[in-house]
Amino acid sequence: MVFQVSHTTSYFYESGVTFCHNIATLKPKDMIGQTVLDYNIDISPTPTEISEKLDFFGNTVTRFSIQQYHKELKVTTNSKIRRDYSLQPNIYDSIEGKSITLQQALMALKSYEEPILAVRQFALESILIAKITPEIKAYAEVSFKPNRPVFEAAFELMQRIYTDFEFNREFTNVATPIHDVMKEKKGVCQDFAQIAIACVRSAGLPARYVSGYIETLPPPGKVKLVGADASHAWFSVYIPKFGWVDFDPTNNQIPKNQHIVVSWGRDYYDVPPLKGVIYSTGKNKMKVAVDIRPAV
């Protein structure tokens, strides 16, 4: 499948801005099963300085600064991506991968060989997932048991979060602690991914946060509205003898062609679509419009 993705972020500043420096993590990944056919980024006002590089996690980041007065910042990316999930390794085809137990996985993760050393960082605390509370650990232990296959446990965890948590855009924002989400059982895809990561790490396993997009379909008989989509997030678990396996607790499914990967990190803090600093006073507003549809 080939998708056309448009992502526009607009900031409106009450008092205007005289200087800003920003980092955008918006370019989809080139990887097995996903090919970026075309990509461009348009920034208004035109940046004084702009550069592109890979970050520590291998994500493409664009750094730019604007050194002129402006009351609005608009960042638009357009991507054309080919997705073919069948090219990726399939956990169901791996006897070792789908059968390795938690106890066996923890033993394998003690190795000093690559790629084990590279994934160990994803088993540690991170900025937004800093302290595993007894409540989170207890929730994880329902699924993760010593002699149970890791894949089976992670799949069940995904299903439980989908069932137990309410999708609610009004309850959280990017600064809401995961412990509040755990207590109230409310949040959005970002929160559900981070709850799952905290659970997986509480069992001693590596888990990473995946940022991207998902194709959404309008209700029957309705026309899809331009810009009505949104960024998406899910989680990935490292299973020794196989590798990384993605899980989407918001939609209760293992991501396939409809999921487009942009970046990954330890939690949301590592891979926000856009972040930066500004020199200004007063309030500001942000508007985001995302559109994903099959390419013509």
pLDDT tens digits, 58-111: 999 999 999 999 999 999 999 999 999 999 999 999 999 999 999 999 999 999
pLDDT at residue 227 above 60? no
- Cβ within 8 Å of residue 175, ≥6 positions away: none
Per-residue pLDDT tens digits for 142-194: 999 999 999 999 999 999 999 999 999 888 888 889 999 999 999 999 999 99
- pLDDT score, position 282: 87
Instruction: Say what the pTM is.
Output: 0.94
In the prediction, which pLDDT does 225 show? 54
- Residue positions counted in the chain: 296
pLDDT above 60: residue 226:
no
Taking only the tens place, the pLDDT of each residue in 236-248 is: 999 999 999 999 9
Residue type, 289: A
pLDDT of 114: 83
- Listed residue (272, 270, 266) closest to 118, CA to CA: 266
Token pair, residue 128, equals: 């937004």
> Residues of 223-249 as b/e, b for ≥16 C-beta within 10 angstroms?
eeeeeebbbbbbbbbbbbebbbbbbbb
Q: Tell me the three state secondary structure of residue 212.
A: strand
CA distance 274 to 253: 27
pLDDT at 175: 83
Nearest by Cα to 75 from 27, 112, 126: 27
- Residue 228 pLDDT: 56
Q: What is the pLDDT of residue 199?
A: 98
Task: Report how far residue 156's alpha carbon sits from residue 152's, in angstroms, rounded to the nearest whole number.
Answer: 6
Q: Is the pLDDT of residue 25 over 90?
A: yes
36-to-10, 169, 260, 294 alpha-carbon distances in Å: 24, 30, 10, 14
